[in-house]
Chain A
């Protein structure tokens, strides 16, 4: 599958005027985002996520390295016509109404009438923005409504590739869930989504692959399923005598009995058969053998801590 985004050694440095030191916001970043995938781009505040996105959009320029977006070099106008961007905070011309803002952005994509009005209507409906809000100035919009119009403007050109920078930050739980659903739907339509977010449960739910960067450097890149796959198994069983729990504990390291059932939470795969044999040999019943998965948050924290949190 072709790469929607291909980053080759992208580096961005700034000079700190006061300390005369060089700050590496992005450091020799190499990664590919495949067409049609929802890709999670993770990192702490200041890790270089937004800087990377801004370089890919041609808003700032790389110090070293190169990248292609939809097969074209950074800043290519042809590629930009198939790309959209939702910045971290959705900034708008406050005096414009929602409809006028959409009309303005549609004109920047050179979308003519009557298609322009059709697209505006569809996009505003797709993000569930109430119709009576369409003709109200944006300055009166809530945070959730702003994010909706932000996503709507990012969809106005029916893009092949979307860059979403913290699209759900600061939203209430309902708006958050609705916007997450919108992103999932966008992914289902076969569009490539480059999602930068601190909402790790959202990323885990929506992204097929993730990259974790720290201090501008790529630490981890892989399939979400593989990264969160644990190397431990949880076994629960019931029955047997009191000595069984102690025997299991001796093999698994930990086992506790509660309400007539016992649980060995972290069993290594090589010990699974031994424990199952122990349980069955004691005429007890195996209730479940469940692979223990790590959350993306655990993966993220482990990865960043290993690299040095500060």
Chain B
């Protein structure tokens, strides 16, 4: 009950932030205006819309997740609202989990809103519902879940500015998992060690990018559903570990 109350308060607080609403409006506008170019054939226009829609959801989701993740705990400490919360019978783990869930609900609301508009525009453009695109949106959400947990972990000890660069930096490096994976076969031992450390220690964000497979029929994944479930499990387990670390750090933090 306490964790959910904190999560609800966090969601309401974040939804009042103008910057997040502006991001959502811009993203929705970009998706809605996607089919506009009149010089494209219907097939080309559809491919553009699919690429654009998923890319916009990813980019807006990324910004919303990082802005939310880096703020939810430091803002409480900076505004000193944390005093009236942690002086009550609230365990510190409940606070961290509540803040994470509140941020996650915010990201969910934002991505779901963009996803619904995207699927609606696509339905209008193609004249049929495209269920496979839901998979892309779901994967983006779980990618953001993992990123949000990473940002929350950093927020327990780093300033928002440092956290912003750390989270963004690791997201970019984590998206290059294909590169680091290929470097694991390198002849140079040092390169292999470094690539291995980066590949296994940094969250593998690249595996969540299934846009190519969804947009280009020639790219085939053997069993898409299993692949998606594996990545969701990966996101949940990795997020749980990051939250556990965040709780351990925050438990010793003075506010």
Contacts and interface: CB of A to CB of B under 8 A. Distances in A.
Interface of A: 54, 57-61, 77-78, 80-81, 83-85, 87, 89-93, 95-96, 104-105, 107-110, 153, 157, 163
B1 A95 contact: no
Nearest to B8: A104
Contacts of B1: 107, 110
B132 to A, nearest CB: 39
Contacts of B186: none
Interface residues of B, number: 24
Counting from the closest, the 10 A-B pairs by CB-CB distance are A85-B87, A107-B5, A60-B254, A81-B89, A80-B89, A91-B80, A108-B88, A57-B87, A95-B16, A87-B83
Contact of A80 (B81, B83, B88): B88
Nearest to B78: A91
Contacts of A81: 88-89
B84 A91 contact: yes
B90 interface: yes
Given A59-B83, A77-B91, 11 more contacts: A57-B87, A59-B86, A59-B87, A60-B254, A83-B87, A92-B81, A93-B81, A105-B84, A107-B5, A110-B2, A163-B87
A85 B89 contact: no
Interface string B25-52: 0000000000000000000000000000
Nearest to A112: B1
B79 interface: yes
Contacts of A95: 12-13, 16
Of B84, B86, B254, most buried by chain A (CB within 10 Å of CB) is B84
A82 to B, nearest CB: 9
B255 interface: yes
B85 interface: yes
A80 B83 CA distance: 13
Contacts of B88: 80-81, 84, 105, 108-109, 157
7 contacts: A59-B87, A81-B88, A91-B79, A95-B12, A104-B9, A108-B2, A110-B2
A93 B16 CA distance: 11
A60 B255 contact: yes
A109 B89 contact: yes
A280 to B, nearest CB: 62
Contacts of A61: 252, 254
A107 B125 CA distance: 47
Interface in B81-103: 81-91
Contacts of B83: 54, 59, 85, 87, 91
B254 A93 contact: no
A105 to B, nearest CB: 7
A160 to B, nearest CB: 13
Contact of A108 (B79, B85, B255): B85
B62 to A, nearest CB: 25
A58 B95 CA distance: 14
Contacts of B86: 57-59
Of A85, A93, A104, A153, most buried by chain B (CB within 10 Å of CB) is A93
Of B5, B81, B83, B86, most buried by chain A (CB within 10 Å of CB) is B83
A181 B15 CA distance: 39
A219 to B, nearest CB: 26
Contacts of A58: 86-87
Interface string B243-255: 0000000001011
Nearest to A89: B80
A78 B91 CA distance: 11
Contact of B89 (A60, A87, A90, A108): A108
B81 A108 contact: no
A75 to B, nearest CB: 9
A24 B2 CA distance: 35
A58 B88 CA distance: 10
A115 B90 CA distance: 20
Contacts of B9: 93, 96, 104
